[in-house]
Amino acid sequence: MFFSDEIKLRAVVKGVDSEGYPTESNTDTAVFADITSATRSEFYSANANDIDITKVFNVHAEDYDGQRQVVYESKTYDVVRVYEKGLGVVELNCSDRGVDNG
């Protein structure tokens, strides 16, 4: 693992504005990751539950703090499953949301 691809881990912060309306803001943290495709068994197991696993991001455990979204190449992915692989690596199985960020 080379951790040569830059991604952003996105935390969505929910709050309330001064008038009592709900607000949402994003906090992005740039980190380096290894990017792979989902394994065949992971893909089909998720697909059986109407979840489409499209990317797997391996990040250093100290970089991951429970964020539920990943931004990579102008696409936002939802973190579907988090797996601690050991040796300080966390695997994030993600679903493509199909949303462009600009």
The pLDDT tens digits for 46-60 are 888 888 898 999 999
Burial 42-79 (b: 16+ CB within 10 A, else e): bbeebeeeeeebbbbbbbeeebbeebebbbbeebbbbb
Structural domains in the chain (count): 1
The CATH number for 21's domain is 2.40.10.270
pLDDT > 80? residue 102: no
Range of the domain at 69: 5-100
Q: Give the Cβ contact number of residue 81 at 10 Å.
A: 16
- Over the stretch 38-93, which tens digit does the pLDDT of each residue have? 888 888 888 888 888 989 999 999 999 999 999 999 999 999 999 999 899 999 99
